[in-house]
């Protein structure tokens, strides 16, 4: 069995219908499994953080990243996916 590879998906912007459905649809289509999720709406500002499993041989990280970025541009949101090791390095003190 392969070692689990994790990534962090972040979404930020004005709240609107369908954000979660559209983001998770892209993840599903690339065989990405959601391990943990947190979302909040404060004064109309939507934020969501997900920890996902990108270990599947059917998951092409670059394709997932491009599709999420494209979706964010269409919806006026910031959507990013970062490999967990990069996320950890950026936030390690």
pLDDT along the chain (93 residues), means of 10: 86 97 98 97 97 95 97 98 76 61
pTM comes to 0.88
Sign (positive/negative) of CA torsion 50, 29, 83, 45? negative
| pLDDT at residue 26, rounded to an integer | 98
| pLDDT at residue 85, rounded to an integer | 74
Give the residue among 5, 3, 11 at the shortest CA–CA distance from 85: 5
| pLDDT at residue 3, rounded to an integer | 81
| pLDDT at residue 66, rounded to an integer | 98
13, 67, 79, 86 from 74: Cα distances, Å: 12, 11, 11, 26
| pLDDT at residue 88, rounded to an integer | 61
């Amino acid at each position: 069995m392969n070692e689990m590879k994790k990534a962090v998906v972040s979404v930020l912007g004005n709240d609107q219908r369908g954000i979660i459905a559209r983001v998770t649809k892209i993840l599903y289509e690339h065989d990405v499994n959601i391990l943990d999720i947190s979302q909040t709406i404060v004064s109309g500002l939507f934020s969501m953080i997900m920890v996902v499993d990108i270990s599947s041989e059917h998951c092409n990280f670059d394709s997932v990243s491009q599709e999420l970025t494209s979706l964010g541009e269409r919806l006026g949101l910031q959507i990013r996916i970062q490999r967990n090791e990069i996320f950890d390095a950026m936030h390690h003190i």
